[in-house]
Amino acid sequence: MTVAVGHGKQAARHIDAWLRDAAFIHAPEPELASFDKLNVWYYADAPKTEALRLDAVRRQSTFAEVAQGLDRDNALFEARRCLSCGNCFGCDNCYGVCPDNAVLNVDDASTDGYAFDLDYCKGCGICVEECPCGAIEMVPERI
């Protein structure tokens, strides 16, 4: 399902660019964040949910699925365990901790919902330290 939605989104962007007589340019893929860039304190420790399996006797007498899958609550719980390595998931940590109000909450598809006003940013790096998924990178300014 997620692949189908992603392909639909990509098709819509190409059609939109074509209608505007422009070329669609892919946004650069975020770099996968290594474990040392993640703030695992943000995520709760919990054992993996085991999916129910059909017992051996029932497998011999039916064509039912062997792996039963997860119910709705367990599936949502497991989805929340994703560390989103390098991908912003909109937790608002950077927005909330910035002492200079340099992080802007914007509604723009190209910015993942956040932008940085470098005129106000003093480069303290608190946003980078507080980001649970390593989605923010500090780049030295060229002088």
**At CA 90, angle to CA 85 and CA 93, rounded to 5?**
90
The span from the first CA to the last CA of the chain, in angstroms, equals 47
pLDDT, mean of residues 114-120: 91
Q: Quick check: 42 pLDDT over 60?
A: yes
> What residues contact 103, with CB distance under 8 A and at least 6 apart?
94, 95, 114, 115, 116, 117, 127
Helix then strand then coil, % of the chain, to nearest 5: 35, 10, 55
Residue 11 has pLDDT above 60, yes or no: yes
Q: What pLDDT sits at residue 111?
A: 58
Q: Please state the rounded mean pLDDT for residues 81-109.
A: 85
Q: Which residue has tokens 């703030």?
A: 39
Burial label, 39 (beta-carbon count in 10 A; 0-12, 13-18, 19+): middle
**Tokens in use for 46?**
């919990």
- The pLDDT-based confidence of 112 (bands split at 50, 70, 90) is low
Q: What does the DSSP 8-state code read for residue 64? A: S
- 121 falls in which pLDDT band (50, 70, 90)? very high
Distance CA 42, CA 99 (A): 20
**How far apart are alpha carbons 119 and 143 in whole angstroms?**
15
